[in-house]
Amino acid sequence: MTKSEKVEFVIKTLEQLYPNPPIPLDHKDPYTLLIAVLLSAQSTDARVNTITPLLFEKADNPYDMIKLTVDQIREIIKPVGLSPMKSKGIYGLSKILVEQYNGLVPESFEALEALPAVGHKTASVVMAQAFGVPAFPVDTHIHRLMYRWGLSTGKNVVQTERDAKRLFPKEKWNRLHLQIIFYGREYSPARGWNLANDIITSTVGRAEFRK
């Protein structure tokens, strides 16, 4: 199977399984999505979705967020982990949004990645899902599956993102990265993986994953 045939099979299968993949993190606008994605680092979407309603009840915009102290934010978000860094980041980026962007989330990778605690992946999710700009955020599921499917060397997420963007059509990136995440969770997890249920890996995967 050539790489282009693999890509075609992956796209076709994911379109059948997840024709309209939802955004896993609950949010109502670019700001609440930005905060939710920031909180999701080294945590699960399910856990983040239990905490964001508590945080957004007190502050769902940067103006209200900076009325809270870093310690108050930290106390609310503790269950998602890394709360010291995340609470400082949330307060710091909210202050910048108020002072420099009239309370709005900027629509550029450069501006987003300049915000406290906002890395490339977080910026990519916001650009893709809040503003519709083509991006391919790579999480652990995508990194794992691109390697299992023989579509990337899997050495690091930077390389995986580069390979994904090179192989998949740009107009499909924003939906495709969600589809791969859902597929990874349901059919090709890191633990408790059953190859018999994993049609994509069993069809296009590297030899060591098709045994």
Per-residue pLDDT tens over the stretch 97-127:
999 999 999 999 999 999 999 999 999 999 9
Pair 121, 65 in one domain: yes
CATH number assigned to the domain comprising residue 174: 1.10.1670.10
Pair 119, 176 in one domain: no
Confidence of residue 45 (pLDDT cuts 50, 70, 90): very high
Pair 36, 86 in one domain: yes
Per-residue model confidence as pLDDT tens digits over 182-197:
999 999 999 999 999 9
For the chain, the domain total comes to 2
Pair 12, 62 in one domain: no
Range of the domain at 200: 3-21+136-209
Quick one: average pLDDT of 129-145?
Answer: 96
Which of these three, 129, 149, 165, is where a domain ends? 129
Which of these three, 67, 98, 129, is where a domain ends? 129
Pair 36, 99 in one domain: yes
The whole-model pTM stands at 0.93
Percent of the residues in the chain that have a pLDDT greater than 70, as a whole number: 100
Pair 47, 69 in one domain: yes
Pair 45, 94 in one domain: yes
Pair 71, 98 in one domain: yes
CA 159 distance to own-chain centroid: 16
Range list of H helices, the chain: 3-17, 30-39, 45-58, 62-65, 70-77, 83-100, 109-113, 120-129, 140-148, 157-167, 173-187, 199-204
Give the span between the Cα atoms of 100 and 141, in whole angstroms: 35
Per-residue model confidence as pLDDT tens digits over 194-210:
999 999 999 999 999 88
Active site residues: 121, 139
Pair 56, 38 in one domain: yes
Q: Is the pLDDT of residue 211 over 80?
A: no
Q: Which positions ≥6 away from 211 have C-beta within 8 Å? A: 195
